[in-house]
Amino acid sequence: MNMNTQKIALGMALALFFTSCKVEEEKPQAADNNSTFMVKLRGADLCSYFISKDDVAWASGRNTDGQLGNSKDLEIIRTPIKGVSGVLDVSAGESHSLFLKKDGTLWVVGQNSYGSLGLPDVLQTNTLKKLADNVKFIAAGVDFSFFIKFDNSLWAFGHNSFGQLGTGKTDYEEKSPVKIMDGVKSVAGGKEHTLILKNDGTLWGCGHNDAYQLGKEAQEIQLSPLQIADDVKQISAGNQFSIFIKNDGTLWGMGYNGAGQLGFNDFRVVKKPIQILSNVKEAYAGHSHTLVLLNDGSVLTSGYNNMGQLGDGSTEERRDFQKEFDGAISISAGYYHSLILKSDGTVWGAGSNGSGQLGLGQGNTDIHEFTKINF
């Protein structure tokens, strides 16, 4: 090999070496997106909560009482902000919130109307206060609250004028947690009524029954929990209506149907539980609309649509369930807005955004089609 050939070979070797080094240097590193990969959604009255893979509760919407878990910005939050860490779940009413941490502690924040925070000597707090230990489940109604302990006991506090706490009496308010019953799996609070799911699959209800939302034909207040159905696995309570899913995947409902929230065109009220759909994975009641997730990942909506909460591009109410989204793994309904979670951790929303509850940063504009929310 002559000198020129050696130089050429050496040059090519060096070029190849530095090129490979450059490629290695510029190789993108996998980003840790746990902080913006969402795993759970919770819609409320004028706000929304999004729990990320790293157990942080993001939130957007009205925060005038610190109910988002952010004590610094007591105003309307129009884009999602990071809040409480170590969170397992969140549930919120009209102006108060419950935060369940992974260590089983329950923390409360916001307005204490009727004792909805369970703190007898507090009118309002914009910083989180610890309320209980050994808690596994939480639920907030409009101005009343519940938690279930690890021993499966159900505890309640807040507004009770209609017997919605299930204490057996109509005290105006319960300012401290009161034990209601044992053997409870989950609970759902509506406006003035409550649904209780026990570990044996039986469904119970208490509170107002003015629109037959308890599935009881007599329109009277139910002060203590009354059994409604059995073989139930999921429950949700709306304004004056109730829905639940049975173990066979069928969706049932009862109560007010004036806007078609139960998906029937023929009945203004449904006095007893009636089957609505099948192959249902999740179902959630808003104020007057319903959001349903089927086993195939499709999302169906029905009911009141004044702010576009059905996600069909209009503001016209609909009295039957129609598909509006595909590829969902979970859903949640606020009062007048709807939230959808996809398997890639992205969140989509539609409906009322007047207080920034959709987190889209678009002022008072309501959103009539499901739109991606950025974090």
Domains annotated for the chain, with CATH where assigned, are 34-140 (2.130.10.30)
Q: How far apart are CA 150 and CA 147, in angstroms?
A: 10
Q: What is the pLDDT of residue 17?
A: 37
Q: Are 62 and 43 in contact (CB under 8 A)?
A: no
Q: Could you report the per-residue pLDDT of 69-97, keeping only the tens digit for each?
A: 987 888 999 999 999 999 999 999 999 99
Q: Which of 371, 296, 311, 359 is nearest to 46 (CA)?
A: 359
Q: What is the pLDDT of residue 35?
A: 84
Q: What is the pLDDT of residue 13?
A: 45
Q: Are 353 and 361 in contact (CB under 8 A)?
A: no
Q: Could you report the per-residue pLDDT of 115-164, keeping only the tens digit for each?
A: 999 999 999 999 999 999 999 999 999 999 999 999 999 999 999 999 99
Q: How far apart are CA 243 and CA 277, in angstroms?
A: 11
Q: What is the pLDDT of residue 343?
A: 95
Q: How far apart are CA 250 and CA 333, in angstroms?
A: 19
Q: Are 246 and 252 in contact (CB under 8 A)?
A: yes
Q: What is the pLDDT of residue 33?
A: 77
pTM, to two decimals? 0.90
Task: Work out the angle at residue 50's Cα, subtended by the Cα atoms of residues 46 and 52, and round it to the nearest 5 degrees.
Answer: 165
Which ranges of the chain have pLDDT less than 50?
1-10, 12-32
